[in-house]
Amino acid sequence: MEPFINKFIEKMTSKSFYVGEQSSYDAERYSNRQETGSVQMLDPLNRLNGQAASHSDYSLIEQDLNRMSLNIIDSITNGIQGSGEYAGGPTQLTHPLLKSIGTYYFEMKGKRIRPTVLLLLARAITSNDCPSEPISESQLKLAQVVEMLHTASLVHDDVIDGADTRREMASVNCAYSNKLAILCGNFLTARTIVLLSTLRNHHVTELVSNIISDLVDGELMQIKSNSTSFESYIRKTYLKTASLFANGCRSIAVLSGADANMTNMATEFGKNLGLAFQIIDDLLDVTGSSESLGKPASVDMSLGLATAPVLFALEEYPDLEVLINRKFSESGDVDIANQLVLKSNAIEKTKSLAIEYCNKSIEFLMKLPQSQSRDLLITLTQSKVIRFDLIGLKSTISMSLFVKCSVLIIDGIGCRI
Ligand code: FPP
Ligand code: MG
């Protein structure tokens, strides 16, 4: 193992590395670029060398997740409990179609990555590793809010992208219609806001409201921008994906009554995880097969979008700029761009970029006191970024039983990597 990682682990296992104390550790400084240009993933728990978490570990949040899923269906079909005396009336008048379309994506459990992260974080912040001791109702609600909001945004996104599949089934717009999908997304968002309001917490309301405007801002930026700058790509990625993780994690910390230091760490963890997660998604779009993704592959370029792999390829093949500027609109553009991505070091560089963000989020997690929940979050963070290995790409990271086990374990609780 590289000396810098040893040094890092040493630091992390010493008690002085806990929350509340300023750490001089700087991930950038220790980033270890190998000859290939790739970056090593931090592995403070030595998980990448074969030590998988066991199924019983994940049972820590299984009940929370299942309760949340039931609550989602209930919130959509019966309205939000505790939302005031007036709620009973209009709720009963809800059109039956809204109930069936609204619950459509939730009937399949989906990956539930966002609530999984939030529920584990809630436990990690309060060092609550006891499954029989539930997390607070407000934190469970927040996880529900975030999952519903995310799903609402996907329903709208599929209309914008003209997608016909989602979660290995027909997308809402395809199964019903664009008009009904727009209404469904609005309905889910409205129910989410009512649920959010029952937290009676202005700070969290502000954070979640920012997620909504960021989602829209990011989507618009994606549609309208033809910038080839990385700055613009990362900004768009923050707005579209990482803001939800960042503000969601921040809200969990606020609801825990955490101090400013802890709240900022939770936010940074979420932000960096979100960025890493989306960059890997963008990579998979180029390299994955529709079978492994549960949705069509290579859609980004077909939609005219230039994400990290193309932007890195552009550094080596400047002629790509013409194709990017015309949004890959001419026949053969997508194929040419795909070939240049594969021919260049773009895939390696994209992985490295994701690992850099992943390392930053692990670094923040390591500032929390040791707990089973925190360690599971580290494992989950690593597995979200290593998922490119699962579809057959050669990785510079040590691929191990860990990843395969993680798939089985998380599959067991309906949260497939
Ligand atoms: C997936 O993008 C989409 C998002 C992460 C969010 C898009 C946001 C909106 C459409 C605004 C929603 C607004 C409200 C009010 C809910 P993708 O197309 O890159 O991913 P995909 O491959 O999963 O479709
Ligand atoms: Mg889409």
* Ordered structural domains, the chain, with CATH: 55-81+93-412 (1.10.600.10)
The confidence score (pLDDT) of residue 69 equals 95
Mean pLDDT of 226-255: 96
Ligand nearest to the CA of 216: 1
pTM of the model: 0.84
Quote the pLDDT of residue 268: 97
Place of tokens 């994690």: 249
Find the mean pLDDT for residues 64-87.
84
Above pLDDT 90, what percent of the chain?
65
Q: How confident is the model over 233-262, as a mean pLDDT? A: 97
Selected residue with higher pLDDT from 38 and 305: 305
Distance between Cα 161 and ligand 2 center (Å): 5
Which pLDDT score is estimated for 297? Answer: 59
CA of 106 from ligand 1 middle (Å) equals 17
In this structure, which residue's CA is closest to atom 23 in ligand 1?
Answer: 154
Nearest to 361 by CA among 258, 249, 283, 252: 249
Q: Which ligand 1 atom sits nearest the alpha carbon of residue 156?
A: 10
* Predicted confidence (pLDDT) per residue in 192-216, tens digit: 999 999 999 999 999 999 999 999 9
Q: What is the pLDDT of residue 272?
A: 98
Lookup: tokens for 379: 């494992």
**Alpha carbon distance 273, 268 (integer Å):** 8
**38-42, 124-128, 356-360: which has the minimum mean pLDDT?**
38-42
Give the rounded percent of residues in the chain with a pLDDT score beyond 70.
77
Looking at residues 306-316, what average pLDDT do you find?
96
pLDDT category, 137, cuts 50, 70, 90?
very high
Compute the radius of gyration of the chain from its Cα atoms. Answer: 21
Ligand 2 centre and the CA of 166: distance in Å? Answer: 9
Residue 25: is its pLDDT beyond 50? no
The stretches of 225-305 forming alpha helices (DSSP H) are 230-237, 243-255, 260-287, 290-293, 299-302
Calculated CA dihedral for residues 74, 77, 78, 84, nearest 10 degrees:
90
The answer to whether residues 358 and 377 touch, using CB atoms and an 8 Å cutoff, is no
Nearest atom, ligand 1, residue 161 CA: 18
Helix then strand then coil, in percent of the chain rounded to 5, is 70, 0, 30
Q: How confident is the model at residue 50 (pLDDT cuts 50, 70, 90)?
A: low
* Ligand 2: centre distance to CA 151 (Å): 12
- Report whether 227 contacts 211 (CB < 8 A): no
Question: Which one of the ligands is nearest to 305 CA?
Answer: 1
Position with higher pLDDT, 153 vs 388: 153
- pLDDT in the model for residue 89: 56
| Contact present, 187 and 156 (Cβ < 8 Å) | no
Q: Is the pLDDT of residue 22 over 70?
A: no
More confident residue, 58 or 183: 183
pLDDT at 308: 97
Cα separation, 77 vs 153, whole angstroms: 19
Helix (H, G, I), strand (E, B) or coil at 37: coil
Please check the confidence at residue 411 and state whether its pLDDT lies above 60. Answer: no
Quote the pLDDT of residue 280: 95
Closest listed residue to residue 364, CA positions, set 238, 204, 245, 282: 245
| pLDDT higher than threshold 70 for residue 401 | no
Q: Which residues line ligand 1 (CB under 6 A)?
A: 152-154, 156-157, 160-161, 163, 185, 189, 212, 215-216, 219, 240-241, 295
At 39, is the pLDDT very low, low, confident or very high (cuts 50, 70, 90)?
Answer: confident
Ligand nearest to the CA of 241: 1
Whether the pLDDT of residue 84 is over 70: the answer is no
Q: How far is the CA of 174 from the centre of ligand 1 (A)?
A: 16
Residue 145 confidence (pLDDT) above 50:
yes
Supply the pLDDT for residue 5.
35
Distance 149 CA to ligand 1 centre (A): 10
Question: Nearest C-alpha to atom 13 of ligand 1 is from which residue?
Answer: 153
Q: Does the pLDDT of residue 389 top 70, yes or no?
A: no
If one counts every other C-beta atom within 10 angstroms of the C-beta of residue 28, the result is 8
Residue 235 DSSP SS3: helix
Which protein residues have a CB closer than 5 Å to ligand 2 (ion)?
Answer: 157, 161
Of ligand 1's listed atoms, the one at least distance from the Cα of 299 is: 22
What pLDDT, in 10s, does the model give residues 276-303? Answer: 999 999 999 988 754 555 555 578 999 9
Tokens at 23, concatenated: 């750490």
Contact present, 273 and 357 (Cβ < 8 Å): yes
Q: Which of 243, 239, 245, 251 is nearest to 196 (CA)?
A: 251
Max Cα distance, the chain (Å): 66
Work out the mean pLDDT of the chain and round it to a whole number. 82
Mutation test residue for ligand 1: of 105, 113, 151, 157, the one with most atoms within 8 Å of CB = 157
CA dist 48 and 385 (Å) reads 12
How far away, in angstroms, is 291 Cα from ligand 2 center?
16
